[in-house]
Amino acid sequence: MSYEDVSRDNSQRKKRKRCLLLGVAVVLLTVIVFAVVLGLTLNRATNSGEVLKDTVISRCKTYLKEYANLTSVNDCERIWGAFEQAYLGKDPCEVHPEAYDPLINSVTDHVFCGTMLFWSKTKTVVHEFTDNRECLFTLEDTLLGFLFDELTWCSKNNSQEIFTTGCPGWSECVNNPVRSFWIRASANFAVTACGNVSAMLNGSLELPFSTTGVFGSIEVKNLDPNKVDGLTVLLVTKETDTTTCANPSFQTLRNTLDPNIALNCRQVPYGKVENCISNLDIPCNDCF
């Protein structure tokens, strides 16, 4: 596939993605209003599992409708079933990452080499950028990440119920359903990475790279040197920040990263990223 084809496909994906969440919200709102009118919400509105399923299935169908080339290899009901079985009936602190292997195997997506962007402590600015520009993609821009972004779920031991409240928080226990999902999905995203990849890190922190976060503990370690040529750190800094690419935490990153993968770092002013988000006439190559 030529660079022009990749760029054109990426552009189409990004334009479509900006409409996805809005489209899903409209669909769900329409369903809820329709159900209220018919008086059918008595049971379903109080069933958080059904609401979660409606959300996931609606997101899935909307995503696949926008990216028609993925429809034939993805089945939304099958994806939901694999997701549900990962944690249903289990202690919410005993759902291990590998429980999501069937879910990972049930999803097919296409991400182009050289477009994959990792992040740590920069979620807001990263997604403002990828929602508006076509050159880079995060895990949350893929089908798998899009389906479950910002959602909460869990079950109980020997229960067939699904809950979206009262679930353990990220740090409350290590093997909780949400944390284990993102660890497994992040590992898969890293394993599929190829070409030159990027990571946007927070220059406002004393140590931008940490071995305890998902990027440092999972994604960096799963980059395949047979497929990944180099990792470029995009260190986003504000005017008052003093952290630079000479920060000692990047030596820790170098030691964590496979020695066969080149490591580079660029200091990127936060204002420059903001300009690229708001001014689409600026070429992506000039943003970093």
Catalytic, 113? Answer yes
For residues 192 and 178, what is the distance between their CA atoms, to the nearest angstrom?
21
Q: Exactly one of 194, 265, 276, 287 is catalytic; which is it? A: 194
187-190 long-range contacts, CB within 8 A, separation 24+? 187/97, 187/218, 187/219, 187/222, 188/104, 188/144, 189/116, 189/118, 189/139, 189/142, 189/145, 189/219, 190/118, 190/218, 190/219, 190/220, 190/221, 190/222, 190/223
Q: Exactly one of 93, 113, 245, 284 is catalytic; which is it? A: 113
Catalytic, 93? Answer no
Which burial class, exposed, middle or buried, applies to 210 when counting CB atoms under 10 A from its CB (0-12, 13-18, 19+)? middle
Is 136:129 a contact under the CB 8 Å cutoff? yes
Q: Which residues are catalytic?
A: 113, 194
